[in-house]
Structure 1
Amino acid sequence: MAQLPLKLKAIQPFLKVANDMRKKDPVTAYYCDMHAMQTGMKIDSKSPECKSYLIQLMTSLEKQKAVLSVDPERKEQVSSEVVGEALIEEQAMKLFSVADAKDRSSDFGKNVVRLFYTSSVLFDVAEGLCEELGEEASHHRKYARWKATYIHNCLKNGETPQPGPVGGLDDSWEDELENAAAGPSTSHQESYAPPPVPTAGPAQPPAEPPKPVARSKPVEPAPSSYEDPTPPYSDPQTGGAELTPMQFNQAQKLCKYATSAIMYQDIPTAVDNLEKCIRLLKTGKE
């Protein structure tokens, strides 16, 4: 690949994660490259420099897909964006969980920064494959971005980061986090550098970060309410609930998560998501 044009600097984080994932998770690398190309097309697809670079990236994507399609399982993963989105979001959550566990045990270092930031980048990639991220995924992305920046600044200034959520997050910090989304620096001396955020004096935690959402299984409704939905949610023609477009979208996502879990032979997660979907379709509630 040619050198990344300056105009396309915003796609650098996706290309960096793609290169990091290339050997251990080529499907994730493929979707990161694809998101980089799609984002780059929106930025500038007409100037000679950008057009040339994006054509090279497109050619690379076609070669990657051809190689991955030899494996039937991977062929489905790169052919179906529904399956791909579930896979990428699951990968993002896995990295977030590892980073959050290390952070809460005060195991600070560049690896934790990398894990948090990579997680936030993968959430961006997942969002590009669907209409919008769910509330939980959006919350985790925001928190991961904040934590990567905060820990990096602490280490840079010789400060000891505080584990877990600290203080509060005001509107100005939310703006800075959005501006920081351009990604790591282009330095070849470091394998990773998170987005710089201006600080005055010793590194201090921003006002209040969003707190991670606890992931717990839903409380099962009483058998009577599950088997015989109440009239307000009943659809006499289908025996199910009268759902809004947003609820139908949520049901589709639950099926998608179940499919992804089945691919990883994670039966409990698959069953949990399918039960949520059935309950949503029958009652209008998860």
Structure 2
Amino acid sequence: MALPAPLRPIQHHLRTAQEHEKRDPVVAYYCRLYAMQTGMKLDSKTPECRKFLVKLMDQLETMKKELNDNDSITQEVVGNAHIENYALKMFLYADNEDRSGRFHKNMIKSFYTASLLLDVLSVFGELSEENIQHRKYARWKATYIHNCLKSGEAPQPGPIGMDEDEEADEFGADGFSHGASFRGADPSHTFQDQGQDVAPGPAPGIGFTPGPASGPSGPPTTNYNNIQVPPGAHAPANTPAELPPPSGGVHLSPEDFTKAQKYCKYAGSALQYEDVSTAVQNLQKALKLLTTGKE
């Protein structure tokens, strides 16, 4: 069924869902859930839009039944970790390629898809300021590099000047615009999987902020005009000895227990990607919260 014009802003999220149907059904499910929730706000009254959204709801129900034994579907906190891990994995891949001066279709696609998946995180609640900035930077970078290659210019690698209101002027809020050309085609159609993941390598995990593609960890902080990017994403986590000893007088609120549980879930998700550093960091955060009552 064709996408009605009023629902056009969700087209790229639906396309991302379709691309991940077999590769990662969890990503496909939450992309469609975001599309459905956003579509309801855009137009749920006109017959054409209502018919489309009802069909999308049916598709979500079917997927939910098929994936009823998957913790990422049945437990929101695990689903949140899964999508955030995946988005940051794609961001890291594109950021490393960009900083190394390797500009190609898959890295543009990875930047843009990362921005779409950061949109999707809003189904779990408000985005963190960090993820809002990552989303803005990723979408702007995809636009900038796409436009450079389209016009035959050489893109500048790494974080360069970005105006506060400059994000994706050609692509706009809807993402890649119809009619935009990249070697003769709409960029959102040209990035085919070709049998491989466009973002290979280990996931950075929850709490990750991208650092340089190479070099030792620990140099001065870089920032993309207000986007703080501490280098050394895989630097060793705090050791237990650095944590204050448990205090019997600590009073934890229900929210504290929920946050601690989240950190433990994030650690478990990071271990699925064999990302030991991120798992340790999140377990340390949980331990610190439980022993001091502070993050």
CA pair 157-235 structure 1, distance change in 2 beyond 3 A: farther
Residue 171, structure 1, aligned to residue 164, structure 2: yes
Report SS of the residue matched to 1:182. Answer: coil
The 5-angstrom pairing of residues 145-160 of structure 1 reads 145-160=139-154
Report SS of the residue matched to 2:173. Answer: helix
CA pair 33-222 structure 1, distance change in 2 beyond 3 A: closer
Residue 227, structure 1, aligned to residue 245, structure 2: yes
CA distance in 2, matches of 1:106, 1:157: 17
> Does the CA-based 8 Å contact 2:31-2:117 persist in structure 1?
yes
Measured against aligned partners, the alpha-carbon deviations of 1:34-67 in whole angstroms (never above 9, x if no partner) come to 1101110111111101000001111111222222
Residue 161, structure 1, aligned to residue 155, structure 2: yes
Report SS of the residue matched to 1:258. Answer: helix
The 5-angstrom pairing of residues 1-286 of structure 1 reads 2-69=1-68, 72=69, 75-129=70-124, 131-167=125-161, 169-174=162-167, 180-186=172-178, 190=186, 192=188, 208=225, 210=227, 212-214=229-231, 215-217=233-235, 220=238, 223=241, 226-227=244-245, 236=249, 240=250, 250-264=259-273, 266-286=275-295
CA distance in 1, matches of 2:148, 2:248: 56
> Does the CA-based 8 Å contact 1:185-1:193 persist in structure 2?
no
Which structure ranks higher in relative contact order (CA pairs < 8 Å, sequence separation ≥ 6)? Answer: 2
Measured against aligned partners, the alpha-carbon deviations of 1:145-165 in whole angstroms (never above 9, x if no partner) come to 111111011111111001000
* 1:32 CA displacement: 0.4
CA distance in 2, matches of 1:77, 1:4: 28
CA pair 179-162 structure 1, distance change in 2 beyond 3 A: closer
Measured against aligned partners, the alpha-carbon deviations of 1:217-259 in whole angstroms (never above 9, x if no partner) come to 576378476115xxxxx672xxx367796x7775454233123
> Does the CA-based 8 Å contact 2:26-2:73 persist in structure 1?
yes
CA distance in 2, matches of 1:265, 1:93: 15
Structure 2, unaligned runs of 5 or more:
191-223
Measured against aligned partners, the alpha-carbon deviations of 1:64-84 in whole angstroms (never above 9, x if no partner) come to 222233xx3xx2221222111
* 1:125 CA displacement: 0.6
CA RMSD after TM alignment? 3.1
CA pair 224-268 structure 1, distance change in 2 beyond 3 A: closer
> Does the CA-based 8 Å contact 2:34-2:123 persist in structure 1?
yes
Structure 1, unaligned runs of 5 or more:
195-206, 229-233
* 1:111 CA displacement: 1.5
Aligned length: 257
> Does the CA-based 8 Å contact 2:260-2:286 persist in structure 1?
yes
CA pair 265-210 structure 1, distance change in 2 beyond 3 A: closer
Where is the helix percentage greater, Structure 1 or Structure 2? 1
